[in-house]
Every structure is written in C-alpha cells, then in structure tokens.
Structure 1
Amino acid sequence: VITVLLLLYISPDTRGAAQMEPCRARCSGTRCFAAFHRAADSTAARDGCADLGGHLMTVRSSSIHDILPFLLGNLTGRFWIGLHLATGCPDPAAELRGFRWATGEVGSEFTHWPAAFDGSCSSPRCVSVSQEDDFEWVQGPCGDRLAGFLCEHGLGDPCEARTDARGAAPVYTPAAGSSPPGSTAVRTPPDTKYFCVSGRWQPAPRSCGAHEGVCERRCAENPERAPSPDPPTGTDDPCVALDCAQGCHKDGRASACTCGHGFKLARDGRSCVHVDDCADERRCTGENSVCVSNSVGGSRCVCEDGYKSRSGRCVDVDECASAPCEHKCANTPGSYECGCFPGYKKDPKSPHTCALFCGEEECAAECDPNNRFQCFCPDGYVADERGGDTVCTDIDECSSDYCDDLCRNTFGSYVCACSPGYTLVDQFRCVKNEGPTDEEPEGSGEATSQSFPTTTTATARPEPPRRPSAVSAGGLAGIIVCTVFFSLLML
C-alpha cells in the first residue's frame, strides 16, 4: 500500500497552508511519518508540521525508530524531530534527560542519546537525527537551519466502498466492505488510483510509487472521480461480541481486537501479551546499562547495580565514600570489598565488621594503649599475664564436656562429632540412628578425622567463656590493695 501521508500533506485542504510535499513517508499502526527535505530552523519545522495538521516526529519506541532509515533513505544532512528542552537544565537521571516530546509527554519507551550527551545548563535545547550519526538524538541550537524535518500525523476514519455512478466496481486493497486508512481503490479504465484518508477517498500521485521513490509528484486533482462513500449503516456494534482485552478496530461489518504499544495480540485473538522490547539488541547498548521491561508494556534503560547515571552514561558508584566498612574498604567496578587490619578477620555474621583473630595457640592480647590493664582476646581465648605482658591462650573447650560424644579442639573454637551409629544434632548432641545398621555398635572404636565436620564451627550448646574480664588477675590484686589502703587512711 502506498503511504497515505503523501495525500495527508498535499491534499486540497492543506495546499494553501504549505506548498511542500514529503520526500518519503510511511505509516505504522495509527500514525504516519514523513520526511521533508526543506531547510528550516526548529521553529519553522514545527510550524510546517502544524500547518499540515501534525507535529514534529516523536520516536518513542524501537519500532518507530526502525522507520527512520526508510524516511531519510538517500537524504543527507540533519533533520529536526519533535524533542526539545523547554526550560531549565538537562536532568541526566530522567528518562528523556529533562527533554519532552512535541506532544508534551516526558516519558519514552525508547531512547537513542549519543555517549557524548551534553548535560550542562548551556547545552542546546533542540534535537535532530541523521544517517551519518546512526540516527542518534543529537542536541543542536534551535536556530540552526538544518537540511529538513520529520513530521508525524494520525490516520483518520475508514472509507466505505460502493459502486460508482457508472456501475463500475473499483478494485479495493485490501478487499473489504469498509477500507481502513491507507487502503487503495483502482478504477479500470482509466487506471485511476485513490487513497483512503480520514474517511474520504483522495486521488493518488500520478506515479503511484511513493513507497519506492523520493519526492514524488503532487496528487492528481480530480476528486469527482473518487468512488463515492456509502453512509454508515445502523448495525449493532461488532466489537461487543469479541470481548477484546484492550481495544477493537471496526472495519464496516468486520471487526478485530487490537493491542496498545508494548503488547501484541495473543493466539486467541482477544487477549494481549507483553512484547519483550529488551530482546532487541539495539536497546540499552550503553556500557553498564541494562534493559528492564515494564509490566504495563514497553521498557526502559537503567544502570546496573553499583552504577549511577551521569551525563547520559552509567558510571561506577564509589561506595567507600560512605564508609560502609569498619576497617578497610576497596572500591571495585560496580561494588566494593571490605578488609581488616592485621590481627582481625571479617565477621562471618556481619561481613562489614571485623573481629579479633589469632589462628594460633597463643597470641598477644589487644590492649588499650592508655590502660595496659584493659586488654581483649579473640573469642575462644583467655587472657594470661606473663611478665608484664598479656597473652591470649586458646581455651580447650573439649575439657569441659561440651559435646555428647566426640570433641576436637580448634584454635578459638571446637567441633563435636558422634561415633558410628549416631547422628549429630544441634552441633553437640548425638542421637542413635533408628532401624538396623551395619555400622559398629555405639561407642565402639576410635573417632577418625572423617568423624568430624570439615568446618570449624562453635556448638550451639552453652559456650565456655569467650572473652575474659576486662580486668586481669594482676589488675584485680592492685584494686584490692588500693581499696584496703584507702580504708586504713579513713580510720
């Protein structure tokens, strides 16, 4: 079907408003788009589209973006589209970065900004596209005279078919009792072609090749040859019986369910299923950017975890700037990693914090530099004074019978196990296995290394003291002596 925009823009109703015709045009759904190869600044481009009953083109989806290569075809130079920054400064965090479409909308299911987006307050406020820049949305001064502009126009009502006054029946494409916008009617003879535009049949261009050529001739002006439409009939609404999930398109006596953008018609012909725009590899091609499908249709580009949008790019977030780690923090691409000072290790229950660590039978205690009697040891160790120094010594928990059966002491902890025929429960209790078993009788033999769990984990039973009193034995003796001394002075 030849594109109806050639008629929308050069029909008798609009010829007086603007003596121009599109070089190329194409329709998608209920919208039609056309390229005008005429030098203009953004204001003249906007007024040119408005004079023809439309507005500058909005590229709000990947499917509409795919029309641009056809519209610009072999045309060179930049062409205005309907995207501009009305007031204020660009907002890199917004979907359209503070810009808005010619229709006033600020959202979009598709974006195609270049990597070198200018987010400064002095940046240009209008946008154009070109083949040379892979149809990216390039900012430019609104007063620049570019090669042309792209317009958008809505399709109108369907046209009714009937036999003309001479009894000749034109050939309709598609063949139907009522022709949707964009349909053609050919009368033979004299091989005259017409288009359905806004409920009326309009004569087609003499070349009848708008879908292949560039800058076609003007439409023939002989409307009396157009097939005369029948008035609408008073039949019941055919859409009622279809019970469509979203929308319904009536075509004379026929009707069909339709779906909004971001959805497609399911096999049942009534319901709509979501179209995964993220399957398009051209979506969200920026580094560290991912495509997220919306539950209501369409999709949007967001930065991966650990990144944020800045001037149109996803840049790494320095999490260490907020001091999330107790000791050391190393920023990594998209994340960060905590570390600990010597003598400490990451707390497995809280990886952002650090706990004292020895890993040997004895280690030097961690003492307050301002109070040598205020010392601390890792869990599973006890403080011991030796010649004026405090040493942390591993506690042998196995000597305190904290396991039901077998026990193995480890540095800072202990591990319980059971003899063959028994099962370890709650990490310290041994329960006899039920049913017959080929294992040795309970309690027989010696435990092997395989009898113990491979991980060194403290048991759930009441634990022995994990940290000594902050006051050592020597410190306690000093307190007692001082107390007695001051008591005698008061007598």
Structure 2
Amino acid sequence: MRAIHFLKQTSLYASAAGTRKTLDRLNRGSNMKDVTGLLVVLLSCLMGRASGIEPNSGYCIGNQCYTVFRDPSDYSTAEDQCSAQGGQLMTVRSSVSHDILFILLGNMSGRFWIGLHLPTGCPDATAELKGFQWVTKDSESDFFNWAPNFDSSCSSPHRCVSVSPEDEFKWTQEPCSEHRAGFLCEYSFKEPCTSLVAAEGETVTYKTPMGFEGEDVLSLPPGSTAIRMPAETTYVCFSEQWKQAPWSCEIHNGGCESKCAVSPNQVPSCYCPPGQTVNPANKVTCEKATEVEDPCVHLRCDYACFKNEGSYACMCDHGFKLAPDGRSCVDFNDCKDERQCPGENFRCVNTVGGFECVCKDGFQMSGGGQCVDENECESAPCEHECTNTPGSYECSCYAGYKQDPESRNKCKLHCGKEECPAKCDPNDMFQCYCPDGYIAEERGDLTVCIDIDECLFLYCDQDCQNKFGDFVCKCSRGYTLVGKSRCVKNEDTDSEGSGWTPDTPTRDPPTAPPVTYPGPTRQPSALTVGGLVGVIVCTAFCIVLLVCLAHHFLCSRGKTEDKSPEPEAHGLNQVASDP
C-alpha cells in the first residue's frame, strides 16, 4: 500500500504559478503536446483551494461534484470557502440534487447552508422561490422544498437558507449571520473520466481535486488520480482518459513515489534514492537495487541520477539547475526570464525551486485568473473624499480643509488668510473649531478664526516672520538656525547667516511656553484681544482713582486740624499789686 501512502502525503494541486512555469518550459523546448494539454486542463480545474480545508465527504455524477464541509460558518464565510475551492454553494434545483443531499448528509446532524438567499427587497410568498435567488443569480428551479411557516415580513432577518436531515432537508430561512454546522459546495467540469475496470483481485482507489477519495466512484473530474492495487500503478484523469504515471513532475510529483525529474530529452521520469531502483512494471515505486553496486552511489548526487548513453550523471528537480561541481543543485531564478507572468498587471516573485505570479500592488486576482484593479475606496481609507486610480487611490479634502502632511488619508482645517469663518457644530453654535495658528473670536452670532501673530510671543531667538497659521524664524549674519527657533553663533564669525528657514511649521520652540488654543472639545473663550486690553485699561484707571481719593481724604483731614481755635482762660484776671 506504499503508493496510497505517498499519494495521501503529497498535495495533488499545482499552483497557478507552477503550472504556468511548466507551460513556459514546454513551449520553449518540448513537443509534448499531450502533457501541455494536461497542464492547461489542470490549471483550469485546480486553481483555487486557497483555504486548505478538506471536505468530510463528496459525490460526483455526470459533470458535477458535490462536497460537504462540517465547518461551523455563517453564510458569507461558507460562500467564500466554496469560491476559494473553485466552486459555489450547492443549488438544489432538481429531485436528483435533492437525492444527493441524502447521500452527503445521511449520517450527519445539524443544519448546512445551501446556495439560496434573498439578496434585496421583501420576500414574495406567492412566487415559487419566494423572491429568493440562487448563488448563480437566477431564480430558475424545477424543485421546491420550502419549510412551513414561511416568514414573508420585509423586516425579517431570515434571508438565507439551510437544510438538515432532521427535517427531510426542508428549505429553512435563517439569519445569514448565524453560524450553522457546515455547508455544501458544488463544482462543474468538462471531459470527466469513468472509473477504471478492475480485474479479479484488484482494487482501484480514486482521489478527486476536491479532496475526497473512494473506491466506488462512477464519474471523476479532470485531475483526479487513481491507484490500481496490488500493482501500484498510478493514473491521472485527462480529457476523458486515464494517463499512467509518470506525468508532469509539477503535478503531484509526476505520480512518483520518490523523486520526479525531466530527463535531457524532456521526458518526465521517476527516480529513487541510492541503493534503490524504479519498479519497471509501474515506473513509479522504488525497490531495492538488484545490482551488486549501484552506479549512482559514487556520484553523490543532490537530487537524482540518470543514465545517459551508458554513463550516469546527476540531474536536478524542476526549478533548480546543476551547479559547476556536477552534483549540487542551485535555485534557478525564473523571474529573470521576462516571458514569465505575461498577464497584464502581474509580477513575478522568485521562490525556492520555482516562482509565483502574483498581482501588482493595488490589484487582486479575479475568478477568471486575471489581475483586476482593486477599488480601495470601498474600504473608506480617506477621511473625506476618495478617488480610485489604477492600482492605487487618491484622497482629497472638503473646502476649508487640506491634507495632513503627516498622513495623506487625513484632513485638517485650513484658512490661508488673515481670518476665516470658524467651523461650528450645526447642533451647537458654541462648539466651533479653528485651524492651527488661529484663535476664535465671537462677533455677535458669528464666530471667526483670526490669525495669531506668534512673533509677539518671542518664539524665535532673533528674527521672526509671521505667516497665516504659522511663523518662521531666521538668524542674523554669523549665526545658524538650529532646530526651529534657536540661533547658534558660527565658529567662523565672518561666515554668512543661515537666512530664512524652509517654510515649515515651527510650533515647538525650546524656550518659549506653548500657547493653548481652543481644542475641538472646548468652547472658545469669549474674551477677545480687544476685550483683554479693555480689562487692563479699566483696572489701571480704577487703581489711579483709588489712589487719588485716598490722597484727597488725607489732605482734607490735615487742614481741619490746623484751623482749630485756641482755648479761652476762664476765671483768670490780672491782679495789680498794691503800691
């Protein structure tokens, strides 16, 4: 059972880049038209499967395959997962597809999403699909299985549909945001292969590109593999035929158990480690060498050894080339070839042993394998207005604003002259905003923004020039401007000064204290510059008046005391002496 083991351990899927690489090489130097056709078909069948999840089971009939994923998801996630696998959510538009539900979910429990939903509008209880639509964006159906108690309310959140074996797979309305037990996917393809005829004593195991495998399979999509036991011969489905391994080395390692490489005559072949040889019957498995001495042992090849006209030589895996020592393998930079990734808006990324074709920045891969412009504006990256451009986008600002130099996605208030009307909250006339470098002043019912003359605050060491919303500093001859405002004397005093600095904001001088302006969450102060001057003048006048009043009071009191009458003599008369 070695072949089954290595089949399970090796990924069946070639990336789109690897497949393009194989096609380029074959077109440049090979006439293997059948292998080229195989890769073209596999490219269309195997692109996707980016999510990497494996289905729990699957079933194929005719030109379609169906899988079930027991992965709790909401409807949108389930839809994306099926799309990443190269399919879509399952449509149940016939009794045949309804019967497949029994095959896929017969032994499971829980509810599973199918591809039926109400994209817009209100449900229509009188219509066969009730206004709902399949993921194919049509409303055609030969089969209907609605659950009772259909909700036809326009406000109903139940706009997606799930099924469950517990109620005989009735179509049940569900909120699209709810997580259900899993989902069902369907895939369409062309040129299927029928199952191989197994002789008595033989068994054939199949594995599909969708990731499920089995023995009792009637129809298989291109890219499916088959292993016939006990011979261990391996096959791949291509154009309604089974091709025996080895095939292209870039598709499932060519079906080889050990190593696959393209010989100098451009034929894919399987190779085994030293001491082993390829089974001559199935050409893919390895067995112990029967020769006494393996002729490849002494070569010490990094990858593989092949026989070339009676002698042996080393060879490398695809994406590598032989080093000058004749045995080591080094990575081949495929991106040096300008013919790689020829599609519009593609770019080549070299990888170890290969390369990848990815979309340029600003572009994304479409379902058709093309790089299309990504509309970045849909994610609202700009604070105000956004204009989509090829591979990028541009932001712009409303009138009265300009782009923030620190972030092109944001906008800041801008005036550009001595005064401008303030930007006020329409619901709160006192909540107004001014650009940096301006102060708000209320003029009746109007609030205006007036430019602040920062030079009055002595921000600059020497000379200052005010600008609308800003200022710049300059130094005298013999000094150099350091930072935004500091002037440092030159060592050579005869050298010229730095002159005016570039027109850049100088909001943070090292010595002067910062000025606090009304912020977006503060109501602007009602005290204007004129009001401040008036308060100072009134205060000074009051002080002078008080001093004058005090002086007048003191002087009046002193004069009153000086004019007081002399006291009179009572009962004192001059007595003359007797002679």
Task: Give the alignment partner of residue 311 of structure 1, picking from 355, 367, 388.
Answer: 367
Q: Normalised by the size of structure 1, how large is the TM-score?
A: 0.51
User: How far apart in 2 are the matches of 1:464 and 1:394?
Assistant: 13
- Give me the TM-score of the superposition, normalised by structure 2: 0.44
Name 1:388's counterpart in structure 2: 445
2:32 partner SS: helix
> What secondary structure is seen at the aligned counterpart in 2 of 1:464?
coil
2:26 is matched with 67
**2:523 is equivalent to residue 464 of structure 1:** no
Q: What residue is the counterpart of 1:422 in the other structure?
A: 479
Per-residue deviation, residues 436-456 of structure 1 (Å, max 9, x unmatched): 35426x8xxxxxxx7112323
Flag the 1:356–1:147 CA change in 2: closer, same or farther, 3 A: closer
| Residues 267-313 of structure 1: CA deviation (Å, up to 9, x unaligned) | 2434432212223344322222222111x211122112112112122
Structure 1 residues 79 and 371: alpha-carbon distance in aligned structure 2, compared to 1, 3 A threshold: closer
Q: Does 1:353 align with 2:410?
A: yes
Matches within 5 A, 1:60-139: 60=19, 62-63=21-22, 65-67=24-26, 70-72=31-33, 84=45, 87=65, 123-126=188-191
Deviation of 1:324 after TM superposition, in Å, equals 1.6
User: Is the Cα–Cα contact under 8 Å of residues 305 and 313 in structure 2 kept in the other structure?
Assistant: yes
Q: Is the 8 A contact 2:361 2:391 kept in 1?
A: yes
Residue type of the alignment partner of 1:454: P
Q: Distance in 1 between matches of 2:294 and 2:242?
A: 40
C-alpha deviation, 1:398, in angstroms: 1.1
1:420 is displaced (CA, Å) by 2.7
Distance in 1 (alpha carbons) for counterparts of 2:341 and 2:349 = 9
Q: Tell me if the contact between 1:181 and 1:199 (Cα under 8 Å) persists in the aligned partners.
A: no
Find out whether 1:364 has 2:325 as its counterpart. Answer: no
Q: Distance in 2 between matches of 1:474 and 1:459?
A: 23
Q: Distance in 2 between matches of 1:147 and 1:199?
A: 27
Unaligned runs of 5+ in 2: 1-11, 47-59, 68-79, 88-135, 137-184, 194-219, 223-237, 248-262, 266-276, 281-289, 532-579
Whole-Å separation in 2 of the counterparts to 1:364 and 1:280: 61
Alignment of 1:17-32 (within 5 A): none
Moved more, 324-333 or 460-469: 460-469
Aligned mates of 1:276, 1:332 — CA distance in 2? 32
CA distance in 2, matches of 1:300, 1:342: 45
Give the counterpart of 2:502 among 454, 469, 488.
454
Q: CA deviation at 1:123?
A: 4.1
Aligned partners of 1:127, 1:309: CA distance in 2, in Å? Answer: 27
Structure 1 residue 416: Cα displacement: 1.6
Per-residue Cα deviation, 1:335-392 (whole angstroms, up to 9, x for no partner) = 1111111101111122222111000011111122233222211100011223432211
Separation in structure 2 between the aligned mates of residue 456 and residue 80 of structure 1, nearest angstrom? 59
Contact residue 86 and residue 187 of structure 2 kept, 8 A: no
Residues 431 and 459 of structure 1: CA distance in aligned 2, closer, same or farther (over 3 Å) = farther
Of 405-414 and 256-265, more deviation after overlay is shown by 256-265
1:301 maps to: 357
Match among 305, 322, 330 for residue 249 of structure 1: 305
- Counterpart CA distance in 2 for 1:302 and 1:92 is 21
Residue pair 1:80, 1:127 contacting (<8 A) in 2 also? no
Q: Do the aligned partners of 1:410 and 1:456 also contact (CA within 8 Å) in 2?
A: no
Deviations 1:38-85 (A, max 9, x none): xxxxxxxxxxxxxxxxx9x99846356543662349xxx999966646
Residue 552 (structure 2) aligns with: none
The 3 A distance-change label for structure 1 pair 382 and 142 is closer
Identity of aligned residues (%): 43
Q: Partner amino acid for 1:358?
A: C
**Does 1:407 find its partner at 2:464?**
yes
Partners of 1:330 and 1:322 lie apart in 2 by 12
In 2, Cα distance between the equivalents of 1:88 and 1:416?
A: 74
1:249-268 to 2 correspondences below 5 Å: 249=305, 256-268=313-325
Q: 1:81 to 1:152 in 2, by over 3 A?
A: farther
Task: Choose between structure 1 and 2 for higher RCO, CA contacts under 8 A separated by at least 6 residues.
Answer: 1
Q: Distance in 2 between matches of 1:293 and 1:237?
A: 31
Question: Size of the alignment, in residue pairs?
Answer: 306
CA–CA distance in 2 between the matches of 1:92 and 1:279?
Answer: 36
RMSD of the alignment, in Å? 4.7
Q: Structure 1 pair 304/181, CA: closer, same or farther in 2 (3 Å)?
A: closer
* Secondary structure in 2 matching 1:273: strand
Question: Matches of 2:447 and 2:40 in 1, distance apart?
Answer: 79
Does structure 1 conserve the Cα–Cα contact (< 8 Å) formed by 2:518 and 2:525?
no
Decide which of 369, 385, 395 is 1:328's aligned counterpart.
Answer: 385
How many angstroms does 1:256 deviate by?
A: 4.5
C-alpha distance in 1 between matches for 2:357 and 2:192: 20
Contact kept? 2:191, 2:240, Cα under 8 Å = no
* Matched position secondary structure for 1:67: helix
Tell me the distance in 2 between the aligned counterparts of 1:276 and 1:336: 33
Deviations 1:9-59 (A, max 9, x none): xxxxxxxxxxxxxxxxxxxxxxxxxxxxxxxxxxxxxxxxxxxxxx9x998
Using the alignment, how far apart are the partners of 1:65 and 1:150 within structure 2? 24
Instruction: Give the match's secondary structure for 2:31.
Output: helix
Distance across 2 between alignment mates of 1:65 and 1:319: 33
Match of 1:208 in 2: none
Change (3 A) 1:126 1:463: farther
SS at match of 2:335: helix
- Distance (Å, rounded) in 2 between the aligned partners of 1:254 and 1:374: 90
Paired position in structure 1 for 2:291: 232
Rg larger for: 2
Structure-1 separation of matches of 2:477 and 2:82: 66
CA contact (8 A) 1:79 1:149 kept: no
Equivalent AA in structure 1 for residue 291 of structure 2? P
Unaligned runs of 5+ in 1: 1-54, 99-117, 129-140, 156-179, 183-196, 201-230, 443-449, 478-491
CA distance in 1 between counterparts of 2:401 and 2:440 reads: 17
> Displacement, 1:400?
0.9
Between Structure 1 and Structure 2, which shows a larger proportion of helix residues? 2
Q: 1:181 to 1:337 in 2, by over 3 A?
A: closer
CA contact (8 A) 1:375 1:390 kept: yes
Amino acid paired to 1:71: M
